[in-house]
Every structure is written in structure tokens, then in C-alpha cells.
Amino acid sequence: MASKQAYYFYVLFCQDGTLYGGYTVDLANRLATHNAGKGAKYTRVRKRLPVRMIYAERWESKSLAMSAEAKFKRLTRPQKEKYLKEHGQADVKSQQLVFVNKFTDNKDEEPIEE
């Protein structure tokens, strides 16, 4: 069985203490791009580097991953921290990456969280 393409919504903790949400198909490459100062305009600012990936969700479609990113970006800082805590990332300053799988093989099922 061929593996399906996965799409990711991720959250970075920036050196200045801010949070950045983004979308990618390759988490490791995207993190390296951000830390090389070639990522999003927001993370290119020197005071925000280096960044750490603290949270990621795996989705089965680009639209679902980008929708998760857009919803996260509309939240206030306290709401973002609450969202992360409710999804397993209790401390945004943590060195740990929390990964949540929202991927499902059956379109009639709700997304699976691991």
C-alpha cells in the first residue's frame, strides 16, 4: 500500500518568546529553513532566531492543514497557549515536540489523535 502525502500545521517557539504557526509538507526541512533565516518573513527577524518546533499536527489534506494554521493564527496569545496545552504541549518553553496525528484513512471517520 502506497503511503499518502501528509500535510502539517506546526508551531514554533521563537527566541524572543513569541509563537509562530505555519504549514509544510516536510517538518525537518521547514525548521531548518526557518533557522537559516530563509523562512517566513516573521521568523527572519534576527531576535526571533533560533526557533524551536514545539507542536505539529499531521493532516491528510493541504486545505485541512492550512485551515488549522489559519485558525491558530487568529487566536490571542493566551488562547494559543490554551490550545497547545489542551493538545498535549503543557509548556511552550519545553524542549519537547508534541506531535498529533489528525490523519484518517476513512473519510467517514473523525480525524484520529495519537
pTM of the model: 0.87
* Per-residue pLDDT, 3: 61
Residue 4's pLDDT is: 80
Q: Where are the alpha helices (DSSP H) in 14-101?
A: 27-35, 62-73, 77-86
pLDDT in tens, 43-68: 999 999 999 999 999 999 999 999 99
> What are the structural domains of the chain?
7-101 (3.40.1440.10)
Rounded to whole angstroms, the Cα distance separating 36 from 25 reads: 18
Instruction: Output phi, psi for 54, to 5 deg.
Output: -110, -15
Is a pLDDT exceeding 80 seen at residue 106? no
Phi-psi region of 37 (alpha: psi -120 to 50; beta: other; left: phi over 0): left
Instruction: Determine the pLDDT at residue 114.
Output: 37
Residue 94: band (very low, low, confident or very high) from pLDDT cuts 50, 70, 90: confident
107 or 54: which leads in pLDDT: 54
Dist. CA 53–CA 68, nearest whole Å:
16
